[in-house]
Structure 1
Amino acid sequence: MEVSEISVKKVNRQEVLKYLGFRGHEIPSDVDALIYECIEDIKSFSKPKYIYQIFEIDREKTSKHRDRVFLKDTDFVLIGNDINEMLSECDRCVLMAVTLGVVVDNKIRVQQIRDLTKSIILDSCASSAIESVCNEINERIEKEYNAIGLFLTDRFSPGYGDMPISQQPDFLRVLDAQRKIGLNVSSSGIMIPRKSVTAIIGISNKKQIKRFAGCENCKMFMNCEYRKSGISCGRF
């Protein structure tokens, strides 16, 4: 099991603009300046930590002739056809949990009282930052396994496709994430600190294709403002 700290090296400004709802029209100069300020703030006071662990995958046939997929030596069953399909050519997987830390939540909360506009921009910058950190960790793991002739699947999280968000507590429990990196989950499935991500990545001896492209696999599909405007958030 790996438990590590990492820095926020990049906050994607274009991604921040999408989160803020700017879709090609001119950005007011004062807002633009505030975005740059918030990007630097997030880089400065984020304290990202992550943990990941490799698990062997076990399968059992059910009465419906469908594999029951679970992590060996645990009681964690992976629910949903989408995650099972993604792991169909894998005998191991990575469970990963990442957080920007509680300071980010606190800074956003303070600005909600002092300056609502800045709090919204900080929130958007933090969303981009956690994605950037996840991408970097993903690339590190992929490089390690590619070097020994193995391949990774996409990153897949509870709440994507038909994998229920209700699996989040079990996910964190299996990784002991609360004790190791301070990551918890509320009764409604919201992670605390909020700017956190959990994900499963399959490990295979065959090159893996991208399986889950498309907004329809996102839990926000029905309510997404980007999709209603004919664009994508860029995650799929």
Structure 2
Amino acid sequence: MPVVHDIPLSLKSGEVLRREGFMGYSKVRPEIRILIRELLAIVQKAHLLEPAIAYEIYTIIEIRQRQLFLAGKPLIPDLSLPSLLPQAKELAVAVCTIGPRLEKQVTDYTSQGEPLRGMLLDGIGSAAVDSLMEEACKLITSEALSRGYEASSPISPGMLGLPITEQWQLLKLVPAQEIGVSLTSAGIMVPRKSVSLVIGIGPRMAKWTRAEVCARCHLKKTCPYRISA
């Protein structure tokens, strides 16, 4: 089961600001912009990001109604994935994390009476996870192309077609422990700045933009992190 470390991440200002809940750069006060740049420099200098990806690609041996049967593994039941990925021949499952260091620094800032720094650094961490997820998609897409296939857009627990309750199942399908990722009894990923996803691999795979995902979400009108088309 492949595990990848030392992945370069691109932290774009627009993505960082979106993850801070700011919808437009012009609306951000100059002192906040300066502080974000300062924190980005600290992230790099202190090596607060430890990006890692654990993934596996399984052959789909059968798609039956709302069930996926994977070679060598238990079926994945009660999902809408078959309808979203009807042409899939394989299913890639991945877990990504930026590690615990940034999260610890957020806690330290907050406990030291610097909640603004903590909040902004937390947003930087979320943007880093988004960037890491994109790198995981590129990696899996490259493997799909080497097989003569396409890769679908990613689906994460909580999105349409993959209930959050399936988080337990997904972490059993990849060596998450090798990159230090686990689940609490409540199903929360640890480190908190982690994400899991599945990608369909096959001859004609469905793709959608992040804006289209936001448009289908029930929080689309109020979410401060939404992406507009």
TM-score range, shorter chain: 0.7 to 0.9
Whole-angstrom CA distance in 2 between matches of 1:162 and 1:208: 13
Identity %: 25
Q: Which runs of 5+ in 1 are unaligned?
A: 227-231
- With over 3 angstroms needed to count, the CA separation of the structure-2 counterparts of 1:207 and 1:84, relative to structure 1, is closer
1:229 equivalent in structure 2: none
1:164 equivalent in structure 2: 163
Q: State the 1:157 CA deviation.
A: 0.8
Q: State the 1:148 CA deviation.
A: 4.0
Q: State the 1:163 CA deviation.
A: 1.8
1:165-209 Cα offsets, whole Å, 9 max, x none, are 11112211221312x111011233221001101010111022544
- With over 3 angstroms needed to count, the CA separation of the structure-2 counterparts of 1:113 and 1:219, relative to structure 1, is farther
- Which of the numbers 46, 49, 69 marks the counterpart of 2:52? 49
1:68 equivalent in structure 2: 67
- With over 3 angstroms needed to count, the CA separation of the structure-2 counterparts of 1:149 and 1:168, relative to structure 1, is same
- With over 3 angstroms needed to count, the CA separation of the structure-2 counterparts of 1:207 and 1:184, relative to structure 1, is closer
Whole-angstrom CA distance in 2 between matches of 1:8 and 1:57: 31
Q: State the 1:56 CA deviation.
A: 1.2
Tell me the C-alpha RMSD between the 2 structures.
2.4
What letter corresponds to residue 161 of structure 1 in structure 2?
A: L
Q: Contact 1:158 / 1:168 at 8 angstroms: preserved in 2?
A: yes
1:38 equivalent in structure 2: 39
Q: Contact 1:55 / 1:92 at 8 angstroms: preserved in 2?
A: yes
2:227 equivalent in structure 1: 233
1:22 equivalent in structure 2: 22
What letter corresponds to residue 101 of structure 2 in structure 1?
A: V
What letter corresponds to residue 158 of structure 1 in structure 2?
A: P
Aligned residues: 224
Q: State the 1:67 CA deviation.
A: 4.3
Q: Which runs of 5+ in 2 are unaligned?
A: none
Whole-angstrom CA distance in 1 between matches of 2:176 and 2:39: 28
Q: How does 1:1-236 map to 2 (within 5 A)?
A: 1-24=1-24, 25-43=26-44, 44-59=47-62, 61=64, 66-81=65-80, 83-114=81-112, 115-178=114-177, 180-210=178-208, 213-218=212-217, 220-221=219-220, 224-226=223-225, 232-233=226-227
Whole-angstrom CA distance in 2 between matches of 1:6 and 1:219: 36
What letter corresponds to residue 18 of structure 1 in structure 2?
A: R
Whole-angstrom CA distance in 1 between matches of 2:208 and 2:161: 17
